[in-house]
Structure 1
Amino acid sequence: MSLSLPQWGQWMTLILIAIALGMDAFSLGVGLGLRGIRRSRALMISGVIGMFHVLLPLFGMGLGRYVSTLVGNLAAIVGGGLLCFLGVNMLVQGFRGSAEGTMLHHNSFWGMMLFALSVSLDSLSAGLSLGLFHSNVIGAALLSGVSGGTLGILGMAAGRRAGTWIGEYGEILGGAILLYLGVQFLW
């Protein structure tokens, strides 16, 4: 099956958004890794992060599709504006170094759920934005889940082996990607 140029562009955009959203999980995962975490616990946390990175964008995209029927031509402006906002927010957090100070107690069930939810909330807003553009719902949600879970476990592994600077740069890179894509949608 051959994809047209616009279809390739849409898939590349979805991949970049998924990676950018997963950078938040990477950044906070580095912080967990620095504190020391067992591999089995890291795998469990990354699985929950992946699950939230699937569910929240699905909910957001459903809401976005509904809203796009209400606002019509403003959908592209609203969606691009949301991506820009998320990008700037991630950049500010990355430059402030807030990844270290937001650690939740991940050893309890509810602590793990809150941790995974906290790194996945950006996915809800991005899902809303993607819903406004009527993008591929299942593909976007699965890409987001795989990216969030994978980058979360990679962040925890990197944190066990490296310094704190990796987490800050990861969040800055993710924010820059979202800001760039938002500006492209607005342009």
Structure 2
Amino acid sequence: MDLASPLVWAQIISIGLMAVALGLDALSLGLGIGMKGIRKLDILKISVTTALFHMIMPLAGMRMGGYISMLLGKVATMCGGILLLLLGLHMVYSSLRTEESKSYDYRSFLGLTLFSLSVSIDSFSVGVSLGMFAGDVLLTVLMFGVAGGLMSVIGLLLGRRVGQWIGEYGEALGGVILLAFGIKFLL
């Protein structure tokens, strides 16, 4: 990888923006959990698990997307763009819904797994889209993992100090970023 190449930097910036957009789910849910009060050890466990899921889910999606790309060729690019558009729309819609979701114990193994899976499932779908394009898999997976873990830590720590309004806007912002990338892939 030639770091002086503008294409490499464009890829790093694009993947970084997607990683942050997907990490906003972890930030927003972390805010909610953090506002209930949380120990530092629980913050560490949740953040590490979230980072792992943010690496595993897009990797699985990229593998599937690569296979789909082999089968469909150029149609796969359009499918990837449409998938990002739909995912972005869903994130914006979810952030605007006002219904209350059922709470679970994030300290239990099941609760920790459900939290990490719920904030990483979008990464699988984006991974499918990215797998349809030839990209740097290791860079993508690492950036997604780091962003997911950091956003989780930030959300959990900030949740102890701020109001609930940030969580709603965070998920909406992530959806808008994915919408923009979906449009870019379609054009």
TM-score (norm 2): 0.95
How big is the shift at 1:115?
Answer: 1.2
Aligned residue-pair number? 186
| Matching residue of 1:151 | 151
| Matching residue of 1:77 | 78
| Aligned Cα root-mean-square deviation (Å) | 1.3
Retained in 1: the 8 A contact 2:3–2:9? no
| Matching residue of 2:90 | 89
How big is the shift at 1:97?
Answer: 4.6
SS in structure 2 opposite 1:161? Answer: coil
| Matching residue of 1:104 | 104
How big is the shift at 1:7?
Answer: 1.9
| Matching residue of 1:117 | 117
Equivalent-residue separation in structure 1 for 2:14 and 2:102 (angstroms): 29
5+ residue gaps in structure 2?
A: none
1:171 has 2:171 as partner: yes
Which is worse superposed, 15-24 or 107-116?
107-116
Structure 1 residue runs of 4 or more that deviate by more than 6 Å after TM superposition = none
Identical columns (%): 46
How big is the shift at 1:102?
Answer: 5.0
Equivalent-residue separation in structure 2 for 1:41 and 1:162 (angstroms): 19
| Matching residue of 2:127 | 127
- Could you report, residue by residue, the CA deviation over 1:51-97 in whole angstroms, capped at 9, with x for unpaired residues? 00001111110111011000001111011111111111111111225
Equivalent-residue separation in structure 2 for 1:182 and 1:62 (angstroms): 19
